[in-house]
Amino acid sequence: MRAIFFLNIFSFFIYTILGIYAFFRRRRFSRLQSTALDHTFILLCVLFALGTIGNAFFVSAHSSREASLWFRFFAFTWYYSPPLFFIFCLLLAGRPYKPSFLLFLVLPLIITGAHVLFPQAVLLKVTAVPLGWHAEYNQNSLWNWLNVFNYTVSGVGSLVVLLVALVTTSQRIVKQRVSLVLIALALTFFGTFFTGFVVRFFGVDSLPPMLPLFLSLLMVALAIALSRYDLLALTTAGVAERILKDVYDAVLLLNTDGMVLDTNVPHRYTAPNLTHFIPEAKDIPGWLQNHLDRRDLPFETRFAFESSRIAPAATRLRPIQGAGGALSGYIITAHDLSAEKDLALEVERRISLAATIRSVEANFSRAFRLSPAGMLIIERSSWVVLDANDMVSTMFCMGAQEIVGSRFTDLGIQVAEADLEPFITAIQRGQNCPTREV
């Protein structure tokens, strides 16, 4: 019994460590976004951890009443785990997440409700065996057979999904990941059925529930696939993270269908695709094929760097090729051109403004020099003449060099400063100055 207890505890720690690793691995870089596959895997680890810790105390209980309580408290983990694992296999095989996947969890929800309301809906009683306690299910209860249907269909469905993915995919990395999970799942599924049905059919009733023990094989395979083949990402471990640490403002990792597997761009989409980030890519396969011809040449497009901000971007599209040159997906990198565009517009505006000022100054200079009326430019505070046109030189019979730099009153013009105040006030107010005799 102690060996079974400690083996369950060991399994509990495997699931817990895997879940924690998967959680923090996706947050090693704060901009890395989690996916539905991440969430499903972490939730599976939580359910398996709770299920095995409950099973550990179930088999080591001191009485049938205590064993029954442990079963009733933690049985929900075994109701939800099979359909959740089926969803995990769908995502692992490359199916994009759809909200309809949650319908697979309706049946375990119903079974859990019946389990809570009717204590003997699934479990009839617990009986003592040499290695702990054995759960005897209520063979006359519809809820029990719904539970059998739930885990049988989910288990067989998971095997079929993985087998189809293994046969149809041309991507070596996907084959390796799926093969590991498929072999471990087959051992878990058929091992559990063998010990649960065949052995007991021949009268061997001394074994406790074996599913948590066989699940250790499955989780070891998941651990290998996660650490060696980066189960939850597109490529081998570390490659995606190195790409997302690149100097680009945005990186999209796509599968061959244009679904976004990973990105460093914040978004609110459950199953993001290329169109969510590049609105012009309405026909995703056509857009990808059209821009693949450019290879490393950047092209400009509109890119959604945030949910509320679409900006021009210098974009590159590169294919990801596996063994034998088979296409595995795409990498799209985008550099935000907003700052450059704004700077270019500002430079253009200032150049235009400078040209306008030069034009105004040139026109004013010509008008000032060629005016038939005498014109002076005087500093307001000191009344020193800063410039004079040719007509002033003619009127005063003085050269321009003599006039410029002298005071206004030195020219022999008898005008009181008070007489000039109306002109100065009008100019300061931006008003026209009427001609006045002084």
**Rg of the chain taking only CA atoms, in angstroms:** 40
Query: 199: helix, coil or strand?
Result: helix
- Does domain 2-228 fall under CATH 2.60.40? My reply is no
CA-based torsion, 24, 96, 264, 224: positive or negative = positive
Torsion on CA atoms 173, 178, 179, 180, rounded to nearest 10: 100
* Domain spans, the chain: 2-228, 239-338, 369-438
pLDDT at residue 238 is higher than 60:
no
- Does domain 239-338 fall under CATH 3.30.450.20? My reply is yes
Closest CA to 211 of 223, 198, 195: 195
| Strand-pair partners of 126 | 135
pLDDT at residue 50 is higher than 80:
yes
pLDDT at residue 323 is higher than 60:
no
Closest CA to 319 of 377, 274, 254: 254
Task: Name every residue whose Cβ is closer than 8 Å to that of residue 90 and which is 6 or more positions away in sequence.
Answer: 101, 161
Query: 136: helix, coil or strand?
Result: strand
Most confident of the following: 104-118, 127-141, 377-391:
104-118
**Could you read off the pLDDT of 327-362 as tens digits, one per residue?**
778 888 888 887 666 666 667 777 777 788 788 778
Which pLDDT does position 380 carry in this prediction?
A: 73
Mapping DSSP onto H, E and C, the string for 4-40 reads HHHHHHHHHHHHHHHHHHHHHHCCCCCCCCCCHHHHH
Q: How confident is the model at residue 105 (pLDDT cuts 50, 70, 90)?
A: very high
**Could you read off the pLDDT of 180-204 as tens digits, one per residue?**
777 777 766 666 656 655 555 555 5
Average pLDDT along the chain: 76
Query: 315: helix, coil or strand?
Result: strand
Q: Which one-letter amino acid corresponds to residue 192?
A: T
Q: Cα separations (Å) of 35 from 23, 42, 102, 409?
A: 11, 11, 15, 84
Q: What is the mean pLDDT of residues 430-434?
A: 72
Q: What is the mean pLDDT of residues 16-30?
A: 66
How many Cα atoms occupy the beta-carbon half-sphere of 410 within 13 Å? 12
Which pLDDT does position 296 carry in this prediction?
A: 64
**Could you read off the pLDDT of 1-19 as tens digits, one per residue?**
566 677 777 778 877 877 7
Kindly state the tokens that stand for 264.
């460093």
CA–CA dist 311, 22 (Å, integer): 33
Q: Which helix (H) or strand (E) segment is 93 a member of?
A: none
How far, rounded to the nearest angstrom, does the alpha carbon of residue 400 sit from its chain's CA centroid?
73
Q: What is the mean pLDDT of residues 405-433?
A: 75
